[in-house]
Amino acid sequence: MGCERVAAPKLEVSRLCKSFPQSRGGFVPVLDDISLAVDDLEFLAIVGPSGCGKSTFLRIVDGLIPPDHGEIRLNGAVVDGPGRGRGMVFQSFDLFPWRTALGNVEFGLEMQDLSRTERRARAQHWIEIVGLTGFEHAYPHQLSGGMQQRVGIARALAIEPDVLLMDEPFGALDVQTRDLLQDELLAIWQRSRKTVLFVTHSIEEAIYLADRVLVFTPRPARIDRVLHVPFGRPRTEEVKSSTAFVELRREIWQSLKQGVRI
């Protein structure tokens, strides 16, 4: 009998640690011995108490911040700085106000040695994918918050990253817009087939979107629990009222509540 080949994880994090200096001297530990493996095309959500280090973790994976210890590998290669393999979507949109929606999506492509025609065609493609056809030439101040975040998602996906990093991308939006964009994100993810790391404060959002939910402890963040989400895809709003959804939400909340300091 032959041996079956086991696919390597898309992303591997090994013994990751990070501290930041204090103005009064000494260091504040933020991440402590984080290890995990993320499979190709997996949607992994990360929840944890405020200030525990979730955003810092994403920025280290993106190569924007160096770790103190540990290692990150993407497709087997060590991550030692920013690179084309990762695309980041921030909560604050971070669009250039002097660029149109199309111009913002093109920005990351300008670093990729593409012709102007190629950049424009790819940016237009992602504008269409995120549902902003007709708003290509609108500036950020002319777009709603939800539309601005769609531009941010299109900009991150246009560079064709292996891993999409999303740092509370819907946190600044109203509840109705947030719910709509959750469904839009799932539809986009089904089409784009990217590995996703998604940070959120919302337990419901994490369960609704993800294949697995990673629970961080309070700072310094450690992995408290990893829970598998039992729902198939595509998902609909009906799963949110199911007994399994409610029970999983309760289980995650109990884990978070144990570490909350008031």
pLDDT digit string, tens, across residues 91-127: 887 899 999 999 999 988 887 878 889 999 999 999 9
**Which of 190, 188, 182 has the alpha carbon at shortest distance from 207?**
182
Q: Which residues are bridge partners to 89 per DSSP?
A: 166
At position 9, the amino acid (one-letter code) is P
As given in the structure block, the two tokens for residue 233 are 């895809």
Identify whether the C-beta of residue 209 lies closer than 8 Å to the C-beta of residue 215.
Answer: no
Give the tens place of pLDDT for each residue, 129-178: 898 999 999 999 999 988 999 999 999 999 889 999 999 988 878 888 88
Q: Are the CB atoms for 159 and 84 separated by under 8 Å?
A: yes
Measured between alpha carbons, how far is 216 from 18 in angstroms, rounded to an integer? 14
Tokens of 94: 């971070």
Task: Assess if residue 32 is contained within a domain.
Answer: no
pLDDT, average across residues 46-74: 92
Asked if residue 194 is part of any domain, the answer here is no
Does 104 map to a domain?
yes
Instruction: Tell me what pLDDT residue 260 has.
Output: 57
Residue 113 lies in a domain: yes
Residues in the chain: 262
> Are 87 and 165 a contacting pair, CB within 8 Å?
yes
Residue 92 resides in a domain: yes
The pLDDT mean for the chain works out to 89
Confidence bin at 1 (pLDDT 50/70/90): very low
Q: Provide the domain limits for residue 99.
A: 86-160
Of 2-11, 128-137, 174-183, 238-247, the range with the lowest mean pLDDT is 2-11
Query: Do the beta carbons of residue 206 and residue 200 sit within 8 Å?
Result: yes
What's residue 36's pLDDT?
A: 94
Which two structure tokens, joined as six digits, stand for 13? 């994090």
Domain count, the chain: 1
Helix, strand, coil content of the chain in percent (nearest 5): 35, 25, 40
Per-residue pLDDT, 111:
79
∠9-150-106 over CA atoms, to 5°? Answer: 85
In angstroms, rounded to a whole number, what is the distance separating the alpha carbons of residues 188 and 142?
23
Rounded Cα–Cα distance for residues 228 and 208 (Å) = 12
Strand partners, 45: 198, 213
Contact criterion met (CB below 8 Å) for 186 and 234: yes
The predicted pLDDT at position 2 comes to 47
Asked whether residue 183 is domain-assigned, the answer is: no
Give the per-residue pLDDT at 66: 93
Residue 175 is assigned to a structural domain of this protein: no
Indicate yes or no: pTM above 0.85.
Answer: yes
**Domain-embedded: residue 97:** yes
143: left (phi over 0), alpha (psi -120 to 50) or beta: beta
